[in-house]
Amino acid sequence: MSINMLKRTLGKSNLEVSALGLGCMGMSFSYGPPADKQEMIALLRAAVERGVTFFDTAEVYGPFANEELLGEALAPFRGKVVIATKFGFALDPNGGPKWIGLDSRPEHIKQVAEGSLKRLKTDVIDLFYQHRIDPNVPIEDVAGAVKDLIRQGKVKHFGLSEAAAPTIRRAHAIQPVTAVQSEYSLWTRGPETDVLPTLEELGIGFVPYSPLGRGFLTGKINENTSFDNTDFRKSLPRFAPDAMRANQALVDLLARIGARKRATTAQIALAWLLGQKPWIVPIPGTTKLLRLEENIGAAAIELTAEDLREINNAASKISVQGARYPEHLERLTGR
């Protein structure tokens, strides 16, 4: 069953993708133990059948396991899908599961590209993001390295993740940036201040990750939820019970609008993002077919200007509690 999922273009780049992509990190990494590989291959192929053409991964997810999963699952559809992956972390040379710092030196970027091409079973990376800005490497050198890879036909498009507006401008001057990826949702609205206006001016697309607030905005998580020890959310200030109790007001707001639109809380959260700009492409993640179909359904929900105004007015009265990340990770964002 292929449905006609709406398409969107990321900025002025001519990179056309499904209006909703699929964030794949949680299949292998970060949200509890990795899911069953065969089940995830089936889920990825089900996403393609349902019109999803945009898939997001990174070298560091696993490490390596998530790229390998996508390489295997999407090989039969390679000409029909866009795969985004990322560089920029230094991995444990002893093969440990953790990254040990940042590394965006040009020679490292080129090494990562070769590894990603092999794991993704492809001869070109559609969109190559710098995962986090490396303060030790000028962004001009990073953009130049990706420009070389584009010239060599190994990469098609350049992206940045969690970058500040001035950094985006400097990178874009060397190699046009196709997309910027940052966390953005009703409970994380930082990009609205400087990043989104800069992207609009420069003609760059925006890819919100964690558009459902790492699951919180679905209404399925509350202060009584207990997370597995391998679940990254255990360490996030915003998932402390007190913060979740305070932030429940946002979920209640989404549920109210959802009841009126015959839509789920998650669908309203995604429809709100789609309603912000025509060049925004959220990438909700899931490991369940039911949730994939629910998320895809958000693309068909029409929020009027009046609906959006109502949501914004109500949300502006809710003060979101808790930092997005613990301090050592927060420092890596917005550079």
Span 116-161, pLDDT tens digits: 999 999 999 999 999 999 999 999 999 999 999 999 999 999 999 9
What mean pLDDT comes out for the span 324-330? 95
Domain count, the chain: 1
Residue 161: inside a domain: yes
pLDDT of residue 1: 38
- At 251-295, the pLDDT tens digits run 999 999 999 999 999 999 999 999 999 999 999 999 999 999 999
Binned at pLDDT 50, 70 and 90, residue 3 comes out as low
Residue 67 has pLDDT above 60, yes or no: yes
pLDDT of residue 95: 79
- What pLDDT is attached to residue 190? 97
Report pLDDT for 98: 82
What is the crossing angle of helices 289-297 and 265-274, to 10°?
A: 50
Residue 151 domain-assigned? yes
**Given a cut of 70, is residue 24 above it in pLDDT?**
yes
Residues 60-71 have a mean pLDDT of 96
Q: Range with the lowest mean pLDDT among 44-53, 169-178, 222-231? A: 222-231
Cβ-based burial of 113 (10 A; exposed 0-12, middle 13-18, buried ≥19): buried
Catalytically active residues, by annotation? 61
Distance CA 151, CA 154 (A): 8
Instruction: Give the mean pLDDT of 240-247.
Output: 96
The whole domain housing 124 covers 7-212+276-302
**Once rounded to an integer, what is the mean pLDDT over residues 106-123?**
98
Looking at residues 87-100, what average pLDDT do you find?
89
Percent share of the chain, pLDDT over 90: 94
Domain for residue 236, yes or no?
no
Mean pLDDT confidence for 301-308: 96
- Residue 149: both structure tokens together: 């890879």
Task: Look at residue 47 and tell me if it is in a domain.
Answer: yes
Q: Which helix (H) or strand (E) holds 72?
A: helix 65-74
Q: Is the distance from CB of 128 to CB of 104 less than 8 angstroms?
A: no
pLDDT the model gives residue 205 = 98
Look at residue 300 and tell me whether its pLDDT is greater than 60. yes
CATH number of the structural domain spanning residue 90: 3.20.20.100
Strand 125-130 vs strand 155-161: parallel, antiparallel, or unpaired? parallel
Chain mean pLDDT for the chain: 96
